[in-house]
């Protein structure tokens, strides 16, 4: 959709973006059947292999479902919460910085890396080189091995950042040790961001130091980070 002017609650993508922005408020008010139907429609909306009219029809049906179930939130009546929002030329409308695609991430992928702050972090990390679970399996590895970072990509498909592996699917031992310290099983996005972002203590991103005989420094830096975080939480 190439919208340069304001768009309102009649636009299905505005409805989907608004549902993402208000997810904490509305999620518990959608029944299991509604959530299942909505998830199926959103899977079509974000599937790049589907033809554009099919995706648009799915978006329209998903928005209609939300209007029907929660008219006070997404209806077109004057008293509904949903209002006109701006849309950038060539882009989807956003509501409070949330995009229509964020609703699929929340409902299907099951994580909260969405919105104006965390959404760009998700996109940046998913753009990094990665292996899918099938590739790891074909090379004799275990994509579900403990202490590996597994990021849910579009559709919930697992992406394992490539920096974790020295050759093919053989993980660096120091990566497994550091990932355990970073609790990558509970916070894979935070662990991936630590490895792939510039670190002032190390002078570069930690991932760039793999294979440079600085394993102990990587472990010590991660341990200091977590000990500092624990101290602040007490």
Q: What pLDDT score was predicted for residue 10?
A: 73
One domain, residues 141 and 90: no
- Boundary of a domain, candidates 82, 116, 150: 116
Whether residue 122 lies inside any domain: the answer is: no
Question: What's the domain range around 198?
Answer: 128-233
Q: Indicate the number of domains in the chain.
A: 2
Q: What pLDDT score was predicted for residue 3?
A: 41
pTM for the full model?
0.82
One domain, residues 158 and 90: no
Angle, to 10 degrees, between the axis of helix 173-181 and the axis of helix 188-196? 120
> How many beta carbons lie within 10 A of that of residue 43, not counting itself?
17
Q: Tell me: the pLDDT tens digits for 25-45?
A: 999 999 999 999 999 999 999
Per-residue pLDDT of the chain (234 residues; tens, 9 = 90+): 334 444 455 789 989 999 999 999 999 999 999 999 999 999 999 988 899 999 999 999 999 999 999 988 887 654 445 555 555 555 678 888 899 999 999 999 888 999 999 999 999 999 999 999 999 999 888 999 999 999 988 777 899 999 999 987 789 999 999 999 999 999 999 999 999 999 999 999 999 999 999 999 999 999 998 886 554 544
One domain, residues 187 and 134: yes
One domain, residues 108 and 73: yes
**Closest CA relative to residue 66, chosen from 25, 16, 103, 23:** 16
Q: How far is CA 70 from CA 63, 85, 139, in A?
A: 10, 19, 48
Q: What pLDDT score was predicted for residue 88?
A: 53
Element spanning 158, H or E:
strand 158-161
Q: What pLDDT score was predicted for residue 4?
A: 43
> Which residue has tokens 């209007």?
67
Residues, the chain, total?
234
Q: Tell me: the pLDDT tens digits for 45-88?
A: 998 889 999 999 999 999 999 999 998 888 765 444 555 555 55
Whether residue 25 lies inside any domain: the answer is: yes
Whether residue 5 lies inside any domain: the answer is: no
> How many beta carbons lie within 10 A of that of residue 110, not counting itself?
9
Cβ neighbours for 109, distance < 8 A, ≥ 6 positions apart: 152, 153, 154, 155, 156
């Amino acid at each position: 959709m190439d919208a340069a002017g304001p768009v309102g609650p009649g636009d299905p993508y505005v409805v989907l973006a608004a549902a993402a922005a208000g997810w904490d408020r509305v999620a518990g008010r959608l029944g299991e059947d509604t959530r299942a139907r909505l998830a199926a429609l959103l899977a079509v909306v974000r599937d790049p292999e589907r033809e554009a009219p099919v995706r648009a029809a799915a978006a329209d049906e998903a928005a209609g479902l939300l209007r029907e179930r929660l008219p006070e939130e997404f209806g077109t009546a004057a008293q509904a919460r949903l209002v006109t929002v701006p849309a950038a030329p060539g882009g989807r409308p956003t509501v409070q910085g949330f995009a229509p695609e964020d609703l699929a991430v929340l409902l299907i992928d099951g994580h909260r890396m969405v919105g104006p702050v965390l959404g760009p972090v998700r996109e940046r990390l998913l753009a990094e080189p990665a292996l899918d679970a099938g590739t790891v399996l074909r090379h004799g590895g275990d994509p579900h091995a403990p202490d590996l970072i597994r990021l849910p990509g579009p559709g919930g498909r697992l992406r394992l950042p490539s920096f974790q592996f020295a050759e093919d699917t053989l993980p660096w031992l120091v990566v497994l040790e550091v990932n355990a310290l970073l609790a990558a099983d509970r916070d894979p996005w935070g662990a991936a961001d630590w490895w792939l972002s510039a670190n002032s203590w190390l002078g570069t991103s930690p991932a760039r130091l793999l294979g440079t005989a600085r394993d102990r420094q990587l472990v010590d830096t991660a341990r200091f980070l977590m000990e500092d975080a624990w101290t602040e939480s007490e």
